[in-house]
Amino acid sequence: MIVTTTDTIQGAVIEEYLGVVTAEVVFGTNVLRDFFAGIRDFMGGRTGSYERVFEEGQLNAIKELEERAQRLGADAVIGIEIDTGTINVDQQGVLFLITAVGTAVKLQ
């Protein structure tokens, strides 16, 4: 399965557009991670624990996108875009949302 952010695949001919595929990954926050991120925020610097959460989430979203495209009989997913956001659960709780969207295609 080819996955790409471009709308074409060099050397390949798109035979059929199978439709838009989407994937959503939601992660809960973690009290310990929040504590250390708060310290980092105060002192400055990167927050590695949250960077790893987003990296894992993006990889999971792409994998899910591939699986959904395969169910449609696709050979590739083109034009992939990944977006991140948050969902406020209550005054103290936040969920991280990572979405991926692309077009499933059949190649010649």
Predicted local confidence at residue 80, as pLDDT: 97
Task: Name 27's Cβ contacts closer than 8 Å, sequence gap at least 6.
Answer: 53, 56, 57, 95, 96, 98
Q: What is the mean pLDDT of the chain?
A: 84
In whole angstroms, what is the distance from residue 21 CA to residue 74 CA? 10
pLDDT bucket at 101, cuts 50 / 70 / 90? very high
Contact yes or no for 26/95 (Cβ under 8 A):
yes
More confident: 98 or 45:
98
**pLDDT tens across 8-28, in order?**
999 999 999 999 999 999 887
Beta strands in 1-108 (DSSP E): 2-3, 14-28, 76-88, 94-107
Calculate mean pLDDT across residues 71-92: 89
**pLDDT tens across 30-73, in order?**
544 455 455 555 555 566 667 777 888 899 999 999 999 999 99
Class of the CATH-defined domain 2-107: alpha beta
Which range has highest mean pLDDT (49-63, 67-81, 87-101)? 67-81
